[in-house]
C-alpha cells in the first residue's frame, strides 16, 4: 500500500478548507483516509498561526514508515523545518509566450523610434540658435 500525506478538500463552494491526511494513494482525493494529521485553511492570512496546523509527531511517524508527502505538504513541512528545503526551478513557467515576446519587441522598437524622433528636433533647435 503506497501511503501519501496529502490534502483532502472540504468546505463549501468558494470557501475551501483542507484536512491534512495520510491516505492510500489509490483512494479518491476527498474519499477514505487512514488518519487525519492536521488542517489547512487558505482563507486565513499567511502569517496566521491557525492557517496550517499539523500534528508533527504523527507526520514524522508516517514519513518514517515510508509515506510520501505531496508537493504542497512538503512545502508546509519545509516551512516548519521538518524536512530540508528542495531546490525548485521552473523557469519556463514565468517566461512569456511567443506572441507576448513579439509584442514586447514591437513596443520597444516604437519607443526607441519615438525617443530618436524627440531627440532629433532638440538637436535642430540648438543648431539654429547658434
pLDDT averaged over 10-residue windows placed end to end, the chain, 130 residues: 91 93 91 92 92 92 92 90 80 81 92 84 59
Please report the pLDDT score of residue 5 as a whole number. 94
- Maximum distance among all alpha carbons in the chain? 89
Please report the pLDDT score of residue 105 as a whole number. 92
Please report the pLDDT score of residue 40 as a whole number. 94
Whether residue 38 contacts residue 19, with contact meaning beta carbons closer than 8 Å, is answered with yes
pLDDT in tens, 68-94: 999 999 999 998 888 888 877 776 777
> Rounded to the nearest 5°, which phi and psi values hold at 45?
-60, 155
Q: pTM score, two decimals?
A: 0.65
Distance CA 11, CA 34 (A): 20
Amino acid at each position: 500500500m503506497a501511503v501519501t500525506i496529502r490534502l483532502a478538500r472540504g468546505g463549501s463552494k468558494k470557501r475551501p478548507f483542507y484536512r491534512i491526511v495520510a491516505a492510500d494513494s489509490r483512494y479518491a482525493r476527498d474519499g477514505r483516509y487512514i488518519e487525519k494529521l492536521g488542517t489547512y485553511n487558505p482563507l486565513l492570512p499567511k502569517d496566521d498561526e491557525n492557517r496550517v496546523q499539523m500534528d508533527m509527531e504523527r507526520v514524522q511517524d508516517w514519513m518514517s514508515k515510508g509515506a510520501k508527502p505531496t508537493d504542497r505538504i512538503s512545502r508546509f513541512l519545509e516551512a516548519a523545518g521538518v524536512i530540508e528545503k528542495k531546490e525548485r526551478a521552473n523557469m519556463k513557467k514565468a517566461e512569456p509566450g511567443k506572441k507576448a515576446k513579439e509584442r514586447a519587441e514591437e513596443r520597444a522598437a516604437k519607443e526607441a523610434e519615438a525617443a530618436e524622433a524627440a531627440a532629433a528636433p532638440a538637436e535642430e533647435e540648438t543648431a539654429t540658435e547658434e
